[in-house]
Amino acid sequence: MLARGGTIGMLGGGQLGRMMAVAAAQLGYRCIGYAPQGEAVAEQLCDGFFTNAWDDHAALAEFAAQCDVVTWEFENVPVATAQAIPADRVFPHPRALETAQDRLTEKRFIEDLGGRPAAYARVDSAAELAAAVDRLGAPGILKTRRDGYDGKGQWRIMSARDADALRLPDVPLIYEGFVEFEAEFSVILVRGRDGEMRVWDSPRNTHAEGILATSALPAGSVIEAQVAEARRLAEKVASALDYVGVLTLEFFATREGPIFNEMAPRVHNSGHWTIEGAATSQFENHIRAVAGLPLGDTHTVASKVVMTNIVGDDILGAQQCLSLPDTHLHDYGKAEVREGRKMGHVTQLER
């Protein structure tokens, strides 16, 4: 168990790290961040920050020497960077990054555990894309196997003609068949060092232009009927990875049951509602887990919760929402406002 006043290292400097730093401070810990040069909003709330390259071994060694434990706040931290931290001090284990960073590896891993991803095919050439569209049909989505998020690195394929006209990027790709779904939801769980697991209620997630727009509870009967099966898979994933911290799996609710979409080995946008809407937030429970503390209660404390992302210049008028009852604004402190950028979120509760 990490003693009061201990130091938690954080790989990455975005808004998830910022909210983790708040939770760490509430529990009596210091945070030190590490991310390459750029606007790192977590730095505003950290006691120290390294702005070095991911492969700067000397800087990583100095960073690790100042930390009692180390975690990460986004899934594109290079595996080699996480592996540079002593194995007994980095949580979750870097194998979680290794699994989640390649969509092909991730889907095969899920299948091995009995889960059902969307139908997919590996694509490394135009000929393989044509064969994938012929076998799986269209519409479908072509994705980069690595690094895509918030709709980036994705191309919607509506017909074989679209596939023929597309100039493929020179990176490994995967084609996913279209899933007819009734709703989208996520399972967010936390697993402690001792293997104890707790799970939050699953929200209904809606997206706009590939970016999460809202997460809402209650999620509705369609999702609630499929949550138990989805949770069982999430718990299998956490156990197989010997995971420590918050883990998120996203699903499509379909007529055939939950279809796995993707996993995120970190705190997640669809769990932001837990800050005000749950007895213990995802951020606090992640810190508790990596610090070796007892996990907190995850029950929902309101009859209705809606988390809405603030994207682009909508942040400029966001403070007006504070006139509404039981409404909570989180401004991520990003100086540069641009289209498609997550600038903050608002959570509204009904007790």
Other beta carbons within 10 angstroms of residue 231's beta carbon come to: 17
154 known member of a binding site: yes
350 known member of a binding site: no
Distance CA 341, CA 153 (A): 16
Distance CA 307, CA 347 (A): 4
Both tokens of 260, joined, read 């796995």
143 known member of a binding site: yes
262 known member of a binding site: yes
149 known member of a binding site: yes
Nearest in space to 124 (alpha carbons), one of 158, 176, 168: 168
Distance CA 253, CA 25 (A): 37
284 known member of a binding site: no
Residue 190 DSSP symbol = E
How far out from the chain centre does Cα 349 lie? 23
151 known member of a binding site: yes
Q: Is 349 helix (H, G, I), strand (E, B) or coil?
A: strand
- Angle between helix axes 103-112 and 227-240 (nearest 10 degrees) is 110
334 known member of a binding site: no
Q: Cβ(305)–Cβ(216) under 8 Å?
A: yes
Q: Which residues of 192-226 are buried (b: 16+ CB within 10 A; e: fewer)?
A: bbeeebbbbbbbbbeeeeebbebbbbebeeebeeb
103 known member of a binding site: yes
317 known member of a binding site: no
107 known member of a binding site: no
150 known member of a binding site: yes
Q: Is 285 helix (H, G, I), strand (E, B) or coil?
A: helix
153 known member of a binding site: yes
Other beta carbons within 10 angstroms of residue 278's beta carbon come to: 24
Known binding-site residue numbers for ATP = 103, 143, 148-154, 176-179, 184, 207, 261-262
Annotated binding site, which residues?
A: 103, 143, 148-154, 176-179, 184, 207, 261-262
